[in-house]
Amino acid sequence: MEKGVIVALPVALFISALAFPFFIRRLRIRQYGQQIREDGPANHTAKAGTVTMGGVVFVVITIIVCLTVGGLSPMMLAALFLLFGCGLIGFTDDYLKVVRKQSLGLKARSKLAGEIAVALFFVAILVMIGHYSSEIWVPLFNIEIDFGFLYPLLVIFLVMASTNAVNLTDGVDGLAAGTSIIALAAYACIAFSIGAGSLILFDVALIGALAGFLIYNRYPARVFMGDTGSLALGGAFAALAVLTKTELLLAIIGGVFVIETLAVMAQVLSFRLTGHRILRMAPLHHHYELKGWSEWRVVIVFWGVAVLMALGGVLIFNF
């Protein structure tokens, strides 16, 4: 396992960096491009037609590297299941929008039902591998609270919240990918602290595959991750939070995702209650774009915040 951890990241990065040019060419030939929101920033219209569904590549590479380099352990099985299951929901949405040209994609209630089903199957896997625990560690206070029979509901909430949060953050070239790499690095440190070798391998394999994607997703992006990638990453974060028993700490480690989500909620609530918007546009990264920030500036600032949040999460865990 130790040797696998060492080679997983460079192997995944190498394969990913080589695979994406081929993937981009094939999807360009088939004209499987991203549809751009008409109500989004005006400068985003130039992105229309950019190849999407890049999440397919880094999810598949992560699974292959984990299985070939490290072997299938019970905890890795659980993490890979949630990565793949949430990614499959996202792929269905992407397929309907990009391939079948159905602009609305997967219906919200169908997506919600899929996330609930995947979360419940994940709970069942936890029970089967003997890793189910309804106790929740409260950061800083260093106490545990037993959720009892309500714990599966918390897992469902984590899956739904994390997938949608990453999805909301994926709106500027390189933003979601870079922020995810930072948060995954924090969880690699936590997995190392508790001696969970299989989770470290899962972490670094996903980091490597995602870094290969980022080479082509940085501004100006040649490929987007699509819902396939954003939902898969959200599933990965939910899995890592549950498997390391840091469910509440996820809100700190993934602080940028939380901030983006809260900004959207505040925007909607403000408009419904007062008729006025508190942001020029939600999610938050679009607000700063409309204030005149370049995409690259938005990404660098948000990455910086992500680093601080990730470091804070690791320090709190080891406090």
Report CA-CA distances (Å) from 100 to 52, 78, 296: 14, 31, 32
Taking the C-alpha atoms of residue 215 and residue 84, their distance in angstroms, rounded to an integer, is: 22
User: Cα separation of 45 and 47, whole Å?
Assistant: 5
Residue 41: the pLDDT is 65
- Computed over its alpha carbons, how large is the radius of gyration of the chain? 19
Calpha distance 176→27 (Å, rounded): 21
pLDDT of residue 2: 62
C-alpha closest to that of 63 among 201, 216, 223, 189: 201
Contact 192, 200 (CB under 8 A): yes
pLDDT 10s per residue in the chain (319 long)? 566 788 999 999 999 999 999 999 999 888 776 666 555 565 666 677 789 999 999 999 999 999 998 778 899 999 999 999 999 999 999 999 988 888 778 999 999 999 999 999 999 999 999 999 999 999 988 899 999 999 999 999 999 999 999 999 998 999 999 999 999 999 999 999 999 999 999 999 999 999 999 999 999 999 999 999 999 999 999 999 999 999 999 999 999 999 999 999 999 999 999 989 999 998 999 999 999 999 999 999 999 999 999 999 999 998 8
Place of tokens 């996330």: 115
Cα angle 292-252-191, degrees, rounded to a multiple of 5: 125
Distance, CA of 215 to CA of 111 (rounded, Å): 30
Q: What is the pLDDT of residue 32?
A: 78
For residues 233 and 83, give the distance between their C-alpha atoms in angstroms, rounded to a whole number. Answer: 7
3-state helix/strand/coil string of the chain: CHHHHHHHHHHHHHHHHHHHHHHHHHHHHCCCECCCCCCCCHHHHHHCCCECCCHHHHHHHHHHHHHHHHCCCHHHHHHHHHHHHHHHHHHHHHHHHHHCCCCCCCCHHHHHHHHHHHHHHHHHHHHHCCCCCCEEEECCCCEEEECHHHHHHHHHHHHHHHHHHHHHHCCCCCHHHHHHHHHHHHHHHHHHHCCCHHHHHHHHHHHHHHHHHHHHHCCCCCECCHHHHHHHHHHHHHHHHHHCCCCCCHHHHCHHHHHHHHHHHHHHHHHHHHCCCCCCCCCHHHHHHHCCCCHHHHHHHHHHHHHHHHHHHHHHHCC
Q: Which residues pair with 136 in a beta bridge?
A: 145
Residue 101, pLDDT score? 81
Q: How far apart are CA 203 and CA 79, in angstroms?
A: 10
What are the phi and psi torsion angles at 198 (to 5°)? -65, -35
Q: CA end-to-end span of the chain, whole Å?
A: 28
